[in-house]
Amino acid sequence: MPGALYPGSFDPPTHGHLDLVRRAAAAFGRVVVAVAENPEKSALFSVKERLEMLREVTAGIAGAEVSSYSGLTVEAARGRGCTVIFRGVRSVTDFEYEFSMTMTSRVLAPDVDTVFVMPSAEWAFLSSRLVREVARLGGDVSRFVPESVAKRLREKLGGKGARKS
């Protein structure tokens, strides 16, 4: 089954990401959640840790697979048999960035399309960057991430943030 590739950094995975994974799986039958390996970004969690977290939190979502990739996203989609790149867009700024990436991807791979989806209202403000920042400053992020992710944030940050419920 072809399906969709949902690429991102997922550093860390949030409830907003999971909302999009569920929606992509429902729409396309199969969604490959793909952690982008980007050595130019400094991540809180390693690619291996992000893959582990994503496998834990998507285990109950039918049609969801988890992998990582480096290089071009369109090539990652092709390599996994996906004909669609699935992207969440929260704001006009997100859209402008995603739009230019999509236009470039169309030139490189006209056989791979991109679908933009607005997040559910309750997660429209949420980003991994925001979760990391709040957690680093000692704030409680347990409402924004699954408990297994909150636990890893506590461990990574020496007990700060992601208060245990």
The whole-number pLDDT of residue 99 equals 87
Q: What's the half-sphere exposure (Cβ side, CA atoms, 13 Å) at 70?
A: 6
128 catalytic? Reply is yes
Catalytic residue chosen out of the listed positions 9, 30, 50, 128: 128
Predicted TM-score of the model (pTM): 0.91
pLDDT digit string, tens, across residues 61-83: 999 999 999 999 999 999 999 99
Domain boundaries, the chain: 4-156
pLDDT digit string, tens, across residues 71-119: 999 999 999 999 999 999 988 877 888 888 889 889 999 999 999 999 9
Distance between start and end Cα atoms, the chain? 40
17 catalytic? Reply is yes
Catalytic residue chosen out of the listed positions 90, 106, 160, 163: 90
80 catalytic? Reply is no
Catalytic residue chosen out of the listed positions 17, 30, 50, 156: 17
CB 54 within 8 A of CB 64: no
Q: What CATH number has the domain spanning 4-156?
A: 3.40.50.620
